[in-house]
Amino acid sequence: MSEPIPSSTTSSETSSSVILRPRQSQWPAISMEDALKIVVETAQPIISKSVPANLVRPGMVLYEPVIAKNPIPPARTSIKDGYAVIASDGIGDREVITVTTAGSITTLKVTPGTCARVSTGAMIPAGADAVVQVEDTELIKHNNIEEQVIRILKPPKENQDIREIGSDVSIGQILLEKRCILGSAEIGIIAASGQRFIEIYRKPKVCVMSTGNELIDWTAEETPEGKIRDTNRPQLLALLNVHGFKTIDGGIVGDTREQLIQSIKVAFKFSNVIVMSGGVSMGEKDLVKSVLKDDFGFTIHFGRVFMKPGLPSTFATGTYENNDLRYIFAVPGNPVSAWVACQLFAIPALRKLGGYQNCFQTEIKVRLAEQIRLDLRPEYRRAWLSTTDNSDKESTISDNENIPLAFCTSHNQLSSFILSTRGANLLLKLPSKTESQQFLKSGDIVSALVIGQL
């Protein structure tokens, strides 16, 4: 057996270096705590832009507070359908001297013994200081067309069912603070503010690429021998979109130094942030860290994190062609690791870049629905929140049962097992196993990151 080694690799650079490769990772596995601290301290919000108020969309983040240009309500208006009266007149019959409905204007004045019919949101005529709802009145006299006299059945209190000018919002009041994340409610408030332009944080654009000679595009009709479909790109593009970030599809990149360099350069033309999967482990084709360090002169903030899944997760920054800081999240190629690592590292950084005040996922406490064997590494296990309603059995449930149950998506938690992400809206934060604690029991309470709609 002295024949030369047949090799299916063709790139001389990797073949020549394989005998020199370290047999243990050069990268210390830092703690999750340190890794997350590095990520959010390094990421700095970019810049702001002005958008016309009518193009404001959910998920945008305010760069400046929104201030009221108008008082709300802009006039004294009725809270009810009824009659504007003088409160001190008390109960009894009132002549109906005018009518105002929402949007109409009246110049008539309510005087003692008279009233004005008003509808919800209508201006209150001068003189009146209370509204009596129609349910508390009776029609006494009419001319076959209009009401002439009505009877007040309940004594009104001063200011009853009247909204004063500016009682909800005064001119100049801060309606929404800087860094507020806009949802439908806040968009309604912006509409009410009278502001025509809103200053928001510019969100980062993210380029997503998959590395690996084994990959074919997932839209291919057939899978050739030795190839697998690239599932990371569609998955990560969708994940970033769900979080409101614009994405660029960086395609599949082969496992050569030249292809990696070229693809990263192209990505930097369009985005400051790259999320790439694959090429960060111990294999001889795992060139990403070396390319970032040696070819781009980037700082590798970490090359491994002591967590599961996603141990070889890598975070690097540097400048390229201009002074803007570029961010690279290189996550493992296994689909589960890629998905979890993108959630844990890239999403908080992107939120920070986009001006979010809280970068991290919300944590809630959940009860385990089953026993879990702990790993040496702290584990982020995919799970879903039970929506079973306990309200029927309130007499028997303990306080503990008010804490929602969480079910693991799958017993197979291998990082290659893509089905373990299915349906997950939680990542359980499981501690490392210790001598004294190898398992968590069913019913134990753990923290969980909310990663999807509950």
CA 316, distance to chain mean position in Å, is 24
d(CA 345, CA 351): 10
Site string for a copy of itself, 345-384 (x = CB under 8 A): -------------x---xxxx----------------x--
- Given the complex with a copy of itself, which of 96 and 372 has the nearer CB atom? 96
Q: Which stretch binds a copy of itself (CB under 8 A): 41-49, 233-241, 266-274, 434-442?
A: 233-241
**Whole-number minimum distance, CB 102 to a copy of itself, in Å?**
4
- Given the complex with a copy of itself, which of 161 and 268 has the nearer CB atom? 161
d(CA 213, CA 432): 34
The footprint of a copy of itself on residues 179-218 (CB under 8 A) is: 180, 183-192, 194, 196, 212-215, 218
d(CA 124, CA 83): 9
**Whole-number minimum distance, CB 275 to a copy of itself, in Å?**
12
Closest CA to 291 of 319, 266, 258: 258
CB 420 within 8 A of CB 309: no
- Per CB under 8 A, the list member of 13, 33, 138, 324 interacting with a copy of itself is 138
396-to-79, 392, 400 alpha-carbon distances in Å:
44, 9, 11
- Per CB under 8 A, the list member of 234, 251, 318, 443 interacting with a copy of itself is 234
Site string for a copy of itself, 413-432 (x = CB under 8 A): -x-xxxx-xxxx--------
Q: Is 445 in the site for a copy of itself (CB under 8 A)?
A: yes
- Per CB under 8 A, the list member of 391, 395, 436, 438 interacting with a copy of itself is 391
The footprint of a copy of itself on residues 246-275 (CB under 8 A) is: 255
The footprint of a copy of itself on residues 99-128 (CB under 8 A) is: 99-106, 108, 114, 117, 119-123
Say if residue 182 is exposed, middle or buried (CB neighbours under 10 Å; 0-12, 13-18, 19+): buried
Write the DSSP symbol of residue 399: G
- Per CB under 8 A, the list member of 322, 434, 436, 453 interacting with a copy of itself is 453
The footprint of a copy of itself on residues 37-96 (CB under 8 A) is: 52-54, 57-58, 70, 72-75, 79-81, 95-96
**Whole-number minimum distance, CB 16 to a copy of itself, in Å?**
6
- Given the complex with a copy of itself, which of 67 and 403 has the nearer CB atom? 403
d(CA 342, CA 313): 9
Closest CA to 238 of 191, 285, 206, 195: 206
**Positions of E strands within 369-415:** 372-373, 379-385, 405-408
d(CA 344, CA 279): 19
Q: Which stretch binds a copy of itself (CB under 8 A): 41-49, 220-228, 265-273, 301-309?
A: 220-228
The footprint of a copy of itself on residues 299-328 (CB under 8 A) is: none
Say if residue 322 is exposed, middle or buried (CB neighbours under 10 Å; 0-12, 13-18, 19+): exposed
The footprint of a copy of itself on residues 139-168 (CB under 8 A) is: 139, 142, 144-148, 163, 168
- Per CB under 8 A, the list member of 91, 228, 261, 369 interacting with a copy of itself is 228
160-to-14, 76, 121, 128 alpha-carbon distances in Å:
83, 12, 14, 11
CA atoms within 13 A on the CB side of 352: 19
